[in-house]
Homo-oligomer: A and B are copies of this chain.
Amino acid sequence: MDNDERVIGIKDVAKAANVALATVDRVIHNRAGVSVKTKVKVLKVIKQMGYKPNIMASNLSKSKKIVIGVLLPNISEGSGYWEFPMQGILKAKKELAQYNIKIKTYTFKQDNNKEIRKKILELINSDIQGLVLTSKFADEIEILLEDCKQKNRPYVFIDSNVRKIDALSSIHQPLFESGELAAQLFNYCFNKGEILVLHLKKTMDTEGIISLKEKGMNAYLKENNNAITTKSLVLTDFNEDAISGVLFKTLKENPFIKGVFIPNSKVAYIAKYFEKRGGDKIYLIGYDFFREDIEYLEKEIIDFLICQRPEEQGYQAVFKLFEHLVLKKEVEKEIIMPLDIITKKNYKYY
């Protein structure tokens, strides 16, 4: 299993093929300037001897750095969700600094189209060799993707709902299934009643994502428990009073509501209302885990959060680009994150 024999290197290949080191190097990297005859000969020897390049040596002698660009919303606003992928990206950055990898981040305000366009132009005119981004701005980024394609720059999506065929890799959570999971959890909490599905609209949350989750939920209920139904409600105003008003009215008119499903990362807004409200227990399930959720998890106002390891998504995205650019490895076209379930009793270890 472990062979402790001397590892064969480019020098051995050169000798065996009766060519110079530089020629072997040219063949390995598929560079121009080698006769077909020589190339075939060298490739044959490489295969025969089982030559594997030494990445450490390769990197050491390589002069230029590899720069990976990151295009994501900035973290100081909105749901704060993007803080987590960014943490993973920074972790990868630290680890990969050894390999001459640089990370350049381009952040923007989510609803500032002018700024987004500016960052896209910067990226197009930059010297990056790979790109991490999210697919939630389909309209804005198409031109950037087109540019990447032309320049043969690989890009990786994180938190992307769609699988982009031209991407090196797309990292995402299974949306439909997460809706099923939420339904299953509600079904453990009560046997009959109604689930209120709250669509809290904001720039970033495309309706596609939310509706896919809702479809998953309905599919589960249809198959497993017809005594639980769902009812959708769209909220556009996030003002505390507005939320209170709407929820008070809705719950009063629909006394069978036993659970509330918030298919994005805004549960805390809703939990705030339920903290003050009396009456029968109403179960709350939402997405993503933030500091402000802890209080409500502890009080079991929020019962379950479905999470998608945003930090790991960021880390993986950079790492996959590294594997592709430096290690020349095959990279999975699609990486599906687990559906993590967070409750009062396990959030501390997440």
A residues sitting closer than 8 Å to B (CB atoms) are: 2, 4, 54-57, 59-60, 65, 98-99, 102-104, 174, 177-178, 180-181, 183-185, 188-189, 220, 303, 336-341, 343-346, 348-350
Contacts and interface: CB of A to CB of B under 8 A. Distances in A.
Shortest beta-carbon contacts, A-B, top 8:
A339-B346, A181-B345, A341-B341, A56-B56, A338-B349, A180-B345, A184-B345, A188-B189
A102 B339 contact: no
20 contacts: A4-B65, A4-B102, A56-B98, A57-B60, A177-B348, A180-B345, A181-B346, A183-B345, A184-B343, A185-B188, A188-B188, A188-B189, A188-B303, A336-B349, A338-B340, A338-B346, A339-B345, A339-B349, A340-B346, A341-B343
User: Copy number in this complex?
Assistant: 2
Contacts of A348: 177
Contact of A102 (B2, B98, B180): B2
Contact of A184 (B2, B59, B344): B344
Contacts of A338: 340, 346, 349-350
B346 A177 contact: yes
Nearest to A283: B188
Contacts of A339: 345-346, 349
Contacts of A59: 56
A65 B4 CA distance: 10
B350 A346 contact: no
Contacts of A341: 340-341, 343, 346
A183 B183 CA distance: 20
Contact of A220 (B55, B98, B345): B345
Contact of A181 (B103, B177, B220, B343): B343
Contacts of A181: 343, 345-346
A177 B340 contact: no
A331 to B, nearest CB: 14
Nearest to A181: B345
Given A2-B103, A56-B98, 16 more contacts: A2-B104, A56-B59, A57-B60, A178-B346, A181-B343, A183-B345, A184-B344, A185-B343, A336-B349, A338-B346, A338-B349, A338-B350, A340-B340, A340-B346, A341-B341, A341-B346
Contacts of A349: 174, 177, 336-339
Q: Taking each of A59, A65, A185, A349, which has the highest tally of chain B beta carbons within 10 Å of its own beta carbon?
A: A349
A293 to B, nearest CB: 16
A213 to B, nearest CB: 12
A57 B99 CA distance: 11
A335 to B, nearest CB: 10
A303 B336 CA distance: 23
Nearest to A336: B349
Nearest to A349: B338
Nearest to A55: B98
Contact of A60 (B60, B102, B103): B60
Contacts of A189: 188-189
Contacts of A177: 345-346, 348-349
A153 to B, nearest CB: 19
